[in-house]
Amino acid sequence: MPPLEIVLGAGLVVALTIYALSGGADFGAGVWDLLASGPRAAAQHELIASAIGPIWEANNVWLVLVVVVLFTAFPPAFAAILTALFAPLSIMLVGIVLRGAAFAFRAHAPRRGPIERWLTRAFAIGSIVTPVMLGVSLGTLASGRLQASSAGVSGGFDAWLFPFGWAVGALALAMFAYLAALYLAVEARTPELAGDFRARALAAGLASGVLAALVLLLAFTAQPPIDANPMGKPFGLPLLAVTSLAALGALWALWTRRYFMARALGIGQVTLILWGWAAAQYPYLVPPGLTLSNAAAPPATLRLLLIALVAGALVLFPSFYYLYRVFKGPAAFTVAEAEPRDRIS
Max CA distance (Å), the chain = 61
96-110: burial string, b at 16+ Cβ within 10 Å, e else: bebbbebbeebeebe
State mean pLDDT over 29-53: 88
Would you tell me how many other CB atoms lie within 10 Å of the CB of residue 309?
Answer: 20
Q: What is the pLDDT of residue 261?
A: 95
**pLDDT at residue number 227:** 66
> What's the rounded Cα separation, in Å, for the pair 241 and 237?
6
113 HSE (CA, 13 A, CB side): 7
The pLDDT of residue 167: 94
Please, what is the average pLDDT of the chain?
86
Mean pLDDT of 314-319: 92
Range from 16-30, 95-109, 294-308 carrying the lowest mean pLDDT: 95-109
In the chain, the amino acid numbered 343 is R
Say if residue 228's pLDDT is above 60: yes
Q: What is the pLDDT of residue 334?
A: 45
Nearest Cα residue to 223 out of 146, 287, 144: 144
pLDDT at 270: 94
Whether pLDDT at 340 is above 60: no
The average pLDDT across 287-316 equals 92
Strands 152-153 and 148-149: antiparallel
pLDDT (tens digit per residue) in 111-166: 777 888 898 889 999 999 999 999 999 988 888 888 776 666 666 678 888 899 99
Residue 1 has pLDDT above 90, yes or no: no
Adjacent-strand bridge partners of 148: 153
**199 confidence band (pLDDT: 50, 70, 90):** very high
Q: What is the DSSP letter of 345?
A: -
- Buried b vs exposed e over 198-227: b needs ≥16 C-beta within 10 Å? bebbbebbebbbebbebbbebbeebeeebb
Tell me the percentage of the chain whose pLDDT exceeds 70.
89
